[in-house]
Structure 1
Amino acid sequence: MSNTSLLLPFRKKGNSMQFLVKNEYIPGWDTHPDICGIMNPATDEFYEKKMLEQLKHETGIIVDSDELIRLGLCAIKRSSELICYLYAVDLSKRSEVIEKEMDNYIWISEDRLMESIDAQLLSTYARLKFLLF
């Protein structure tokens, strides 16, 4: 296993926020899909580029690296030295891209995000909320 990066695209709608997440199986957890962050293995110094290429390939959303909000690091788990690089990107002004259907990707509310079992997703959300408010 290697270090990873997590990207949390979001948009502001009125007084609330929505987040673009994946709805997929978490290996070793249970037998139904769960809400997860957009993860990408980070194996070299080009992990940001690879993360943005994955987003483009899977959703069609094109993000430039200068649009990324860098949120720092968090540990993958307590008993390991592996880390996750945390990122967010504001897609509020991209309504033409956001409304199309995407496989396994869904827009969710803050309340639904808080129900996630993905610890790295919750860490990314907490750091983003701290920066924005």
Structure 2
Amino acid sequence: MTPPDHGLFSRVAGAVTGKVVDAVPVEEILEHVDLDAVLDQIDVNHLLERVDVNRLLDRVDVDRLLARADVEALVQRAGIPDIVAETTGNLAGRTLDVARRQVVGLDRVVGAMVDRLLRRRGPAPLGPALLVVEQ
């Protein structure tokens, strides 16, 4: 017995397939194909190795992509307004603390100068009389 001629079989199958595709709409043929079984036979890693990522990225229209992004929603989701408000509040608080320290320092210098001009002696009071607790 002679082995089957696979070349002949392939040529016949190709000719028949071509005639069927010409005669029957592709959608009808695909209704009879188990796409999950076909997809299970695909080696995804091999397919990905064939992808030229740089060429793919060259085709991406970044401006169009960014136009679709809702920047306001992204800003809200990231919490940027809260961060800005907190930072601004902290900065304002620190600025006030520095200003208070400067005023206190200036008050001490002016107080010492007034004490010298009036020839006052002894330790300077810790604060206004009504606020200082006697020990």
TM-score, length-normalised on structure 1?
0.19
Higher relative contact order (CA closer than 8 Å, sequence separation 6+): 1
Tell which structure's C-alpha radius of gyration is larger. 2
Structure 1 or 2: larger helix share? 2
Q: TM-score, normalised by structure 2?
A: 0.19
Q: Whose strand proportion is higher, 1 or 2? A: 1
